[in-house]
Amino acid sequence: MKLVLSASAALGAWLGWRSLGWPLIHDAPIMHYIAWVISLGGVPYRDAFDMNLPGVYLIHWTILSIGGRGDVAWRVFDLGWLAATCALLFAYCRPMSDGVAAGLASVLFALYHLSGGAWRAGQRDYLLCVFLLAGAYGAALSRERGGGMASLLAGGVALGAGIMVKPVAGVFWLACAAAAAQGAARGRRAIAGAAVLAGGLIVPALVFGWLGARGGLGAFLDVLGGYVLPLYSRLARVGVAEAFREYPHGWQLWTLLAALGALGAWSPAASPFGHRKALAAMGVGYGVVHFLVQGKGWEYQLYPLALFLCALASPAMVRASGREGSEVRAASPRRWAVLAVLAGVLVVLGQKGAEATDPPWIEEKAARVAALTRDLSGIVPAGSTVQVMDVTEGGIHALLNLGLRQPTRFIYDFHFFHDEGDPRIQRLRAEFAAALAAAPPAAVVVLRDTWNRPGYDRLKSFPEVAGLLDREYVLAVDRDDYRIYAKRAHS
């Protein structure tokens, strides 16, 4: 297993080296832009209509405050977060396996992340992993230290922070509270569960307190209850089979990871640390729920499942020397099965990583952002506003590069092009059209390939905006993938 660990670490070092040039791209610039708006005094939800919880913006705000908006700061952050997650995973796995197996579990997770490509850097589900693992670690430490409440409280705090990144993490918070109660001594079970629950309320209370002090709590509740839960949650849901067909090497990778996790579940964990394996198995179950509840089928939503499968696999990857007199030593057939599956995982991750390092679509998107930035800089006067109609094709990224605000709170345009007959969508459309008319921007940028309703023809179903562009704007730039409408001189 030491040889496998060395080969895995070498593969990880190679993929990590090749990732150093990854740009800030795809979803990350949008979160950066919202954080930048906040840094200028803007209020989430009131000044930036988005579906995420405020913890995401606070993380990006911290990155901007420390490192700025550039690619280097983003790359340092992503790799630093990966190092922290892997270090915690090693600490969690080592007692129930050994140093080599724990190292392999950590390297496997690093390989999983680095094989995903630049668009998965800093994704919210990836950021969530460290909080989920810290919660499980807190529950494990409490049991090992005779029911120490401090560990449970700390684990609960971490899980509460995770809820502020992805609300579905609340499922794992409740599961950890139940596990803590079950593992506590009789008479202390209620206290143990309550410690996790109480800890989980601290960060949400602080974050929502901050949001309320900024004047954004009402807007948050309006976005949540008026759009996210009734409409966005059921938009563009994708079946599991369809989603996995779209992932590069999807069925091969996840079949092998599931097999490795199953071998770990079958292998005995080092006594007295079997509860760590049970918590990892619970995390695998949560990872499945995490993916299914969101329902969009996006590959990065599988991060929690990958994390806990790596943790669960560690007892199966105990080095061949084993521990004298311990039941950790695996039977020879099982050991060969582990080696075969592990080799398969490494081959698939290596191939996936090689393909994802410099994919053409990332280069095309980066080139689009650069071209759009140049075009807008030659059209838009300093201090003016620009409205973008886009999702992740680079429009907001160009505004971030130029330091330009929008005249409306709408970061995306896909809200306007689904469930068009619903009065809540009609309200959003009316707000958007009225805001554009009240404070006409110097330019309106329409990206062709927006999510869920691509093509310029989508504007025909939004006559208020289409009419405004016809009356008050001239088509200044017409490229294959975006159009810039500049405000007429007389208007």
DSSP string, 373-406: HHHHHTTSPTT-BEEEE-SSSSHHHHHHHHT-B-
Question: Residues 275, 251: one domain?
Answer: yes
Domain boundary among 356, 379, 410: 356
Question: Residues 385, 441: one domain?
Answer: yes
Domain boundary among 316, 336, 356: 356
Q: What is the pTM (predicted TM-score) of this model?
A: 0.95
Domain boundary among 328, 356, 384: 356
Question: Residues 302, 450: one domain?
Answer: no
Question: Residues 404, 318: one domain?
Answer: no
**Per-residue pLDDT at 327 exceeds 60:** no
Question: Residues 442, 335: one domain?
Answer: no
The pLDDT tens digits for 30-46 are 999 999 999 999 999 99
Residue 103, H or E segment: helix 99-114
What domain range is 410 assigned to?
361-487
**pLDDT (mean) for 154-158:** 98
pLDDT category at 147 given cuts 50, 70, 90 is: low
Residue 33, H or E segment: helix 28-39
Question: Residues 281, 422: one domain?
Answer: no
**pLDDT (mean) for 292-312:** 97
Please tell me whether the peptide bond between 272 and the residue prior to it is cis, using omega within 30 degrees of 0: yes
Q: Yes or no: say if 74 and 121 are a contact pair by the CB < 8 Å rule.
A: yes
**pLDDT (mean) for 238-267:** 95
Question: Residues 317, 395: one domain?
Answer: no
DSSP secondary structure of 228-253: ITTTGGGTT---HHHHHHHSTTHHHH
Question: Residues 315, 375: one domain?
Answer: no
- What is the per-residue pLDDT for 138? 97
What integer best gives the mean pLDDT of the chain? 94
Question: Residues 375, 348: one domain?
Answer: no
Strand partners, 483: 446, 478
Question: Residues 387, 334: one domain?
Answer: no
Question: Residues 340, 376: one domain?
Answer: no
**Per-residue pLDDT at 200 exceeds 50:** yes
CA gap 24, 29 in Å, rounded: 6
Question: Residues 19, 161: one domain?
Answer: yes
CA gap 130, 84 in Å, rounded: 8
Could you give the number of structural domains in the chain? 2
